[in-house]
Structure formats: structure tokens, C-alpha cells
Structure 1
Amino acid sequence: MYKVFIVDDEPFIIEGLYDIVDWSALDMEIVGQAGNGQEALEALQNVRADVLITDISMPLMNGLDLIRAIRDSQPEIKVIILSGYDEFGYLKEGMALGIENYLLKPINLEEFRATLNTTREKLDVSRNEYKLNAHSISILRDNVMHRWLHNQIGPQEFRERAEFLGIVMDKPLVQAALLRPEADHAELFRLCTQALNGNPSVIAFQDMDGDIVLLHLLSEYQRGKEAVEQLHAQLLLSLSAGRPLHLSVGTVEEAEGGAAVSYRHAKRAQEYFMLFPELELLRYEELQRRHEAAVAEGMPIQWEEDLKLIMARDKETLLERIAAHFEQLRQMEGITPDLLQGFAMEWLIRFKMKLKEIRHVEEPELFADGFGRIRTTASIGELTRIIQEAAAVTVDALIRDVKSPVVQQVLNYIHESYFEDVSLKTLGVQYNIHPVYLGQLFHKEVNESFTDYINKYRIEKAKEQLRSSALKVHEIARNVGYWETGYFYKQFKKHVGISPTEYKGLV
């Protein structure tokens, strides 16, 4: 059995820890306790422990000082912090010391048990593993960059996490670029980082869609752009052997507040490879110039008004407006097949992105046929039919969606925070609604239970990581919100039909 030592200056906490967990079921036993760090340090000179559970704020010696001291004599010991302080500085320092988790009081029993399970698994693998491995750091970096580029964390929070994770943002300008692999995401990312050779002016990571993001740091506009163009040419030359590559480039923006804009532009430009599959590189600025030229020639582009009709689920009016737009195009002088295709492509991209914005999932199959047909026709009549069909598909998809604003908020929260501890109870508090009623409302609107929905969503995210990363199964389980690997295996097999290990072998 693995041996556990508990340190807390509140006796009732220690007593509670004895009772709330079936330690023997975890292959663990409590071998000692102490009321402060100094007392614990003295006891641990004579008692070997595999797991140390400690408070932070205690007399004589606090928990962080205890961890530092005990590492000298028992470097392999696993540490779990229990604290009444939700303080990022404590969390940061604890992670630097190689802790397993930082749990707040009052203790979330499910999370505590999951942490103990994970700790036991790590002890099974290696008693010498006592700090975050490279994969975990990579996942943390990707997650922080993703949240920052989607404006989900503020500048101060980003700076704190960036400093901790070694993300250096020391230039005034940024420019985002995206590489979208057709297959073997992990291998292409490895080759890409190898080709970059530690270039300090590029932050490379993978976003939640599997795209490889290159965030270039520029000291000045013109020279910076030229340097980025040269680097992209070298990358495409070194990476394209035997594989098709599509590199899209966003605009140059100010680092403070502009990175998300450049990233969004690079994402948008990436969609245009549907129209120009033979190209390796597309720049948003060039696409924008085409757009502005079309507006100058009088093309009837009124995207915002038309997208409002999508949000209103007003399919009839939307189809009429699309027909009217194309009729205006028919009557324009100097209209070319390229302009017609570009106009239709812009429509499809906006439909696709609007649907993803609302539903938080990629649904390329809804538009794949339209993208293919646009490339092979310049007939106004055929293009009108393609766009009207896509508009109808988009609106119909939204009509099938939920009607309750509260349930939509819950869905949005799940899609953005599925890797966290999400429950009807916490969501009920957040949205000021009784959890039982929320569960009933969710089932009525979504046509499945809250538990089934979040499990299915997490399993889909797990499948993505199994396909595109070299992470171990238990690491992926934690990344998608499962703290107990056994439960993850059970849910995965229930929804996919095979185990995660078998699935990884197939892909």
C-alpha cells in the first residue's frame, strides 16, 4: 500500500480526511499526521511517505516551505495541497514545486478522489515522476494561447500564465499564421518546430481545431513582414515534401489586444483554400483587397444584415435576399467568373463560421458539397442555388437547436469548459436556477440528459486528441475532464464501441 501523511492545523480537517475516503480501496493507508510543517518535517525523517497532503497556511512552517524541505530527503514524494486561499501565486509556486493538484476548501470530494486515483496511477508508473512532464506543459501552453486568442482571458492573467509557462511576448507587433494538416497532425507539428529551430520570434502551438498556429513577434512593421515572408517560404520548402500544405496568414496587429484579430483573420483566410486548393499560401490582406475592390465595383455585399436573418431563423426572407443579390450581380458590368466564385465562397465561409460561433463545433460536412460545386461553375443560376441550399441548411440546423436562452448558455459553457468540473449544481448556482429544474429543462430542449450530453462531448474531444497527439490515454482523459481513467475507459467504450487504446491503434 502507498503511505499517506497529512498535515493541517485544523484537527477536524484531518479527522474528516480519515473518514471521507476509502483509503484501502485506493491501495493507500494513512501513516501519520501533523499540525504544522515543522512537526511534519521532523516526523517524516523517520516515516517514509509516498503521498503528502498538506495545508498551506500553518504556524511555525507553512506548507510551501515544508514541500521545499521534504524534497531534499524524499524527492519522489507526491504532494497534494489543500488550501482555503484561491490565490494564483500559491498555485504557481506549488506547480513549480511539482504538486499533483491544488484543491480548495471545502473539499470537492469527487475531485479529491480523482486526484488520489491519478496520483496512485503515477506512483504505479514511476516513483520518480514528481513534476509536470513535457506533454503536460505543452497542453497547458496550448490551452493558455487558445484562450488568449479567443479573448477568454484578460491581459494580466495572460501575462502571469505566459511568464510561468515560458511564453515570451517581447515585441510590439504580432502576425498569426495557420498550417492546416490533412493528416498526422502530431508529426507535422514536430517537423514544424524542428524547422523553426527554437526561433525566439515565433510561438508555435496547436489550437483546438488541430491547426498549427505560428504567432510571429515583430519589432517593426515592414522589416518584420518581410522576415515572416522569408520564413514562410523556407517552411513550405522544408515541410511540403510529399504532403499538401495550406498556410494562411493574418494581418499584422499590435501585440496588446491585436493578436486575436490576426488569428481570426488567418482562420478566415484558411477557409479560402476550399476555392484555391492548388495554392500553398493565402494572405488575408490579399483576400481583403479583393473584397474591397468588389465593394468599389458595387457588388451587393450586405453581410451583417443577411446574417441577422440567420440568427432570426428567417429562412424565407434570407432566400429571397440571396436571389436578389445574385440578380444585382447579373446586371453588373464587368462581372467575372472569379468575382462570382469569390462572392459565393464568401457566403459559404460566413455561414460555416456563424454556425460554429453559435454551436461551438465544426460541421464541415454540411458545406463540403457546396465548396466543391462552387469551384466547378461560374453560372449565376447554379451559384444562386448552391448558396440558397447552404442558407437553408444553416437555418434548419439552428431551428433544430434549443430555444431556451438558459440552456444555450449551459451548452456554451460546456463547449468552452468541458475539461473542468462541470455539474448541474455548479451551473444552477451560476445561472440562478434550481439544478433539478435545470436538468429537466436541459433534457426537454436537448433531448438527452445533461450527463449523457457532456460525456458524449468529452469523448468527441478525446477522439480528436487520440487522432492528433502522442499523449498517453490517462493524460487525454484528464485533458477532457475525466479524473478517473477507469471511468473514462467505461464512457469511451460505451460511446465508441472500443477502448481508447484500441481506437488510437486504428487511427
Structure 2
Amino acid sequence: MYSLMLVDDEDEVREGIMKKTDWAACGFRPLGAYDNGRDAAEALESLRPDVLITDICMPFMDGLELSRYAAERCRDTKIVIITGYEEFDYAKQAIKLRVSEYLLKPINGREFTAFLGRLKAELDEERASRENLCAIRQQLNQSLPLLKERFLERLSTSVMKKEEIERKLDYFQLPLRGPAFLSLAADIDPRVIPQTQGSQTNPDAGADIELLHFAVFNIFQEIFEKENGGAVFRTRDDKIGVLLSGTPEGVGPLAQTLAGHTAYSVEKYLKLTLTIGMGRACPAWTQIPESFREACSALDYRLLLGSNRILCISDVERGSSLHSMAYLEWEKKLLSALKRGKGNQISGVLSAWLEEWRSAGLPVEKCYSMLHRLLVALMNWVAETGFEEAEVFGEDPFKEMRAIRTLDQLKLWLEGLCHRVICSLGEKRSIQAESQMRLAEAYIKEQYADENLALQGVCQHIYMSTSYFSALFKQHTGLTFVEYLTRLRIDKAKELLAATGLKAYDIASRVGYPDPQYFSVIFKRHTGMTPKEFRSRTQAGETE
């Protein structure tokens, strides 16, 4: 079902189309009908319809101006002009604005239904071409030649002679002619790539990840390269690089706009999120490496600022720093908490420390430098106690640290590392079990709204087998994992029913039950009442 907006200032035409069209049978869902372009423009960005049907002659904002507005901000929206004007000049303007159809009034119901049928078929074909991973797999075998990709990476990372650049731009037919140039670096946010399915359970998991990377690359190519004359390439560490040219005053805003379109398309069609770093504009080919270095540096600020965003180097480099004495104080507090086995205190110390990083806007390399110092301090302390470092820290904790992309991930990783230290150095196994159960409870309370939360995921989070975890968890809480999770979800649902006016199906989704009917059955089984009955009795003051 595709969404659709209708804009026409003639009440008779607008109401006739809305009432006489069997929208569901045609495969469309109307989002609203507007009598002027200004109101439609205000609703356009929030609604983001698949199709915009608009008259030309309207008050406040005419149809061509609305079409131009839609083409700039909602590139995936198909635009259809419907008007009584037959002048070819209007048609030519509409074509320049990427208008899909130009329909003349009056249109009878049969003609309009046939038009919707053709439009739906076109939308189906476009959606299938983007969502069909099999088709993308075939395109994978027809990707750009390796020589072109390596040239673009070399152009972005090393100094090349102007004559060589000109010759290869001509050879590869790349329209990067300036006068200004700007680089971007993009990466798929790691939390959305399916990494929980190992090779034993899903032999094709690695191939699927490669396929998703290629699908994202295709979207970058379509938007930046095919439509706007840029150049897109993949780096050796699986990131996507983009080179864009234009005027000194226009290339920056253009890059921002196209980056937004790309992130939206990737999330819409592939259900992935991106973080995109953007360097400064430069006036010469030979300065592209500096712009690309800035783009990669901006991308690294995902560690501090979070993922799923566009990060411009000019916005994120604020040059703040923390005094080394402050670091030593944090290290002292953390080691003290570790020595006493205080897991809650460790979480508090880490939270305060990382929040200080976030608010100070530290350069990313300084953050990694302090993390390196912290790891060395922890490893030295563990070694002094007589334990083997590898038993606690694994083979290469520094490599693990460098793979982290956000502060939230870093906090979880450091907490897990510190808890492993506590567990390894504890004199009794009960210390380990208690610490892990607290971590499991905290994780369950944090993730209870996720409908896919399962025993295996909790066990992976705390590095414990399912059988051992089940026994310890029942001993710790008096409940099985399923009983605990269900009680937690029901308690949260009761809070929402009592304190909010949310619909039962919305509450069900918020507490981890995608099926409202199943939620109602579970709720009644545990409370003796349906959600509706519970809310009524709560409002009447009849529940405890």
C-alpha cells in the first residue's frame, strides 16, 4: 500500500477524487487532501508520501513551486501534475522538476483508476529493484572496475600530480571538475548489522553482510554519482568514500542535502542507519586528501556524539581537553571500585567519566589515548595479582577497543571488562554469579521492550552458557527467565495503563508484544483482567 497526498484548490474536484476513488483496490492510502500548496508543503516533510498529486494554479503556493519544494526535500516522492492548463510551457517546467505524469482535467473515475494502476506498477517495480537482494547480488558481480576504485581511494589519501589526475579523470569518465571539492566518509552503524548469527547457525551470514554493504554502496552511487556527478568508492576498511565537486559556496550545502537523502533511503529500503562524516571544501584536486582526512575524522566522532547522524568536521572539532590530573583521578576511582568488587560503583564511575568526554567534545584520538592508558593500568594491576592477562582480557583488548564506535558501546564494553576482572579475581564463585546476574537483570530491564529479547541474547551479553545461566537466574530471582521477563513486561504495562491514555495495542508494542491479542491473553492470565478492565478499575480506584 502506497501513501498519497492530493492538492487541488477546487473543492468539487478534490472531494470528487477522494470520494469516488477506491483507494484500497488501487493500492494506495490517502494521507490527506489540501486546498493550497502552502499547507501541503508544511505537511510534506513529516508525511513523506510516496506520491504527490497537485494542481498547478492554486493560492499561496502554486503546483510548480510545490513540486520544486517536494523534489528538493523528498526525492523519493513521485510528483503528478493534474491541471486544466494545456500550455506546453507548464509541461516543460514540470519535466525539469522530475514530475512523473501530467494529467489534464477533467478526468473521469475510470481514467483516474487506470492511471493509479500504472503508477502502482511503476512503484512496485522500483521498490522491487531496491529491496530484491537477489537482484542486488547480480549487480555485485558487475561492480565498478577495481582500477577505478583504487584510483579514487588513492586520490583521497595521497598526493598525486595534477597531470595524472586529469588523465585518469578523463579515462574513468569522472566529472570532478570543480572549482571546489568536498569529501565525505560513511559507515554502516554496527549495531544494525546482523552479527548474532554465527557461521554454525547461518553459513550465509557473512555473505549477507557483504550484500548489505553493496546495497548501501548502490544507493550512494545512484544519489551522489549518477544524479549529481560525484564519485563514490569503497575503502579498504569497508567504509564508503564520496568525492563531490561544485561551487565554493554551493558544494557544502549540496553535500549536506544529498547525505540526508542517502541516509533516508538506506533506512527506508534496507532498514540500516548510517553515520556520515563531512570534510571542508577545498579549491584544488591536490587538497582532496586533506578534505577526506577531515571527513574520516568527523566520522570517528561517532564515538562521542552517537550514530545515525551527519557529522561535519567544522561542527565537531571544538578543541577541548581534560587535564591529565583529572584522568588520574578517574583511574584511581575505577581501580578502587574494582578492588572492592563494587559493580554498581564501577558503572557510576564509567558513566560520569564518559559523560565528561561527551560534554567536553574531546578529540577522538585523545579519547583513544586515555583508553589505551586505562587498559594498560588494568592489565598491570591484574598481572600484579598473579593472574594471566589473557584469562581476563582475551587475546587483543586493544583491537577490540578500536572496533568500538559509540560511547554507549564503549560503556558496555568497559563494564563487561571490569566485571570480568571482578569475577576472575574474586575469591568465591558466588561473587561472579551475583555480578553476572545483576548485569543480566540490568540488561533485561533495559531491553524488555525488544520483542526479540531471548534467553540466548542475555547469555551472550554476560558470556555464560544458557543452562548455567538458567540455574543461577532461578536461584537469584526465584523465577525462570521467561517468568521474570513476563512479570516485568506486565508490570510495565500496568504502569502505562494507569498513568497514560495510550491504546492497548501501543502499550503492547512498548513492552515487547507485537501482537495485541496475545498481549491481552497474557495480561489477563497474570492479572485476572483484560487491559481495558484493569484501566477502568484503576481509574475507579478499585485496584491495589
Q: TM exceeds 0.5?
A: no
Structure showing greater Rg = 2
* Normalised-by-shorter TM-score class: 0.3 to 0.5
TM-score, reference length from structure 2: 0.33
